[in-house]
Amino acid sequence: MKRPGSYRLWSQQELFGWALEPRCCSMISNSIRMQAIPLLLSPPATQWLMPLPAAVAAVNCSYRCGHTSHCYLHRTQTGLFQLVRDYDVYTFKNNVLALAATAKLYGVPTILTSSLEKGPNGPLLPELRAMLPNTTFIPRPGEINAWDNTDFVNAVKATGRKKLLLAGIVTDVCVLFPTLSALAEGYEVYVVVDASGTFNEAVRDAALGRAQQAGAVLINWFAVACELQKDWRLPPRAGAGLAELLAGYLPQYGNLITSHSAAAGST
């Protein structure tokens, strides 16, 4: 049993897995299809990141979300994206792709799943398939709650992970229902709130309140990325990977890094 206040650094092999389920992105015309615009960081833009000293063998980090035994479930199909009204379309799609990019950056195992792809729900968001081409995909014939699909549950169990990150559309059904089911089976559940969307803020708040009351933890994609990184001096690429991720999906952060680098170069 760990003593209070004692910590250890999780290895990258212990990082959580993903299950992305496509229930969110719909009827986006080519004219409004938004891609996160990465800011190209030149080498000076990341010079502020300190290299990891050889003496640093471990970092005293303990995170509520942690970095072990996770599986991520995200619903993102093209047919339901227009239902999202608690975030604007550009911000929401950016958050969904940022979360996927975070998983890719840190080598997080992913499971993609969909429901009724040939019906009004539509196929998986194409950008997700392109970003995560080698992931396990579980097409569901009709179950609303992903946890009611045996193949999906077996895929989650096969990861051996006991902590789940969930996100998608709609928050009050496609996120909430598997959250409650997984909690009932003893899993720890973390709902990624800014990569989940629904009809309006009142519905969102009610759904997240119910999830939290049942024992789920609320988190956002930025916090997920930072908790995976733990320390700017750690891999990937001594923090440069995280810097590029944040600059690509948070332009304000990219401007901050660029401004800092310019100021540092002028001194």
On the question of a cis peptide bond just before residue 133, with omega within 30 degrees of 0, the verdict is no
Distance, in Å, from the CA atom of 51 to the CA atom of 96, rounded to the nearest integer, reads: 30
Query: Any alpha helices (H) in the chain, and if so which ranges?
Result: 89-105, 126-131, 150-158, 176-184, 201-214, 221-229, 240-249, 251-265
Non-local CB neighbours of 250 within 8 Å, separated by 6+ positions: 98, 222
How crowded is the C-beta side of 262, counted as CA atoms within 13 Å?
7
114 to 11, 55, 149, 192, 232: CA distances (angstroms): 31, 46, 11, 18, 35
Q: Which of 101, 99, 46, 71 is nearest to 260 (CA)?
A: 46
If residue 140 lies in a helix (H) or strand (E), which one and from where to where? strand 136-140
Distance, in Å, from the CA atom of 266 to the CA atom of 246, rounded to the nearest integer, reads: 24
Q: At what angle are helices 251-265 and 240-249 packed, to 10 degrees?
A: 130
Chain-centre distance for alpha carbon 189: 13
Is residue 71 among the annotated active site residues? no
On the question of a cis peptide bond just before residue 203, with omega within 30 degrees of 0, the verdict is no
- Are 83 and 199 in contact by the 8 Å Cβ rule? The answer is yes
Catalytic residue among 24, 25, 71, 174: 174
Residues tagged active-site? 174
